[in-house]
Amino acid sequence: MGTQWTDVLLWKQFQSGDRSAFAKLVNQYKDVLYGYGKRFSADNELVRDCIQDIFLTIWHRREHLNEPSNIKFYLMKALRQRIVRQSTKWKKALSLNDISADRPEFAIDLEHRIDSMEPVNSALKVYINKLTPRQREIIYLRFYENMKQNEIADLMGLNVQSIYNLQHSALIALKKWMDYKSIHDCLITLCLFAPTLF
């Protein structure tokens, strides 16, 4: 039975008030959400509070919620929106240069991943962190979470063309900084090393 099918069954059971199904959803997604939330805020407490708020909200509103087509995407989007709203209330939220001050910075932590390709990891870490927060988020969602551009657009609240443009400009910058001959080389590097980078 596939994950999506299992999620649909869990969601239906959760909506009918089954506490064990709800606990399974929480346990299945809490770590994914925490990892994603940490990319927006260095404040562990803020991230944990936002995740808890999301799960409490969906529990209380379960009878009125539609069944999402992708539960992971639905929860990630809810977390992103919650952190954006809450970050203005928390003094520890990071400020940004290229997006409005009410949005937290998207950070990529490359320290804790596999060291086997240390020269590539080190170079990519430096260059990925030179990208704008939105470009970093798109690279993470596209190459690590394997999301499609339309899903990324929906998650980030941008139109699909903006996602393509931001992804393209990020790849152009990485190509230049990594001294690659083509964007294709950059794409191959990101596809091959994404699991070791994020």
Both tokens of 195, joined, read: 């699991």
Q: Are residues 9 and 71 in the same domain?
A: yes
Biggest CA-to-CA distance, the chain: 56
Q: What is the pTM of this model?
A: 0.61
Q: Is the pLDDT of residue 164 over 70?
A: yes
Are 68 and 144 contained in the same domain?
no
**Helix axis angle, 44-60 to 71-87, nearest 10°:** 120
Say what the pLDDT of residue 75 is: 93
Burial grade of 31 (CB within 10 A; 0-12, 13-18, 19 or more): exposed
Whether 178 maps to a domain, the answer reads yes
Task: Locate 21 and state its tokens.
Answer: 């199904």
Q: Are 129 and 108 in contact (CB under 8 A)?
A: yes
The range of the structural domain enclosing residue 136 comes to 118-197
pLDDT score, position 143: 79
The rounded distance, in Å, linking the Cα atoms of 100 and 196 is 31
The count of domains in the chain is 2
Domain boundary among 87, 103, 132: 87
Q: Does 61 lie in the same domain as 126?
A: no
Lowest mean pLDDT among 49-63, 115-129, 139-153: 115-129
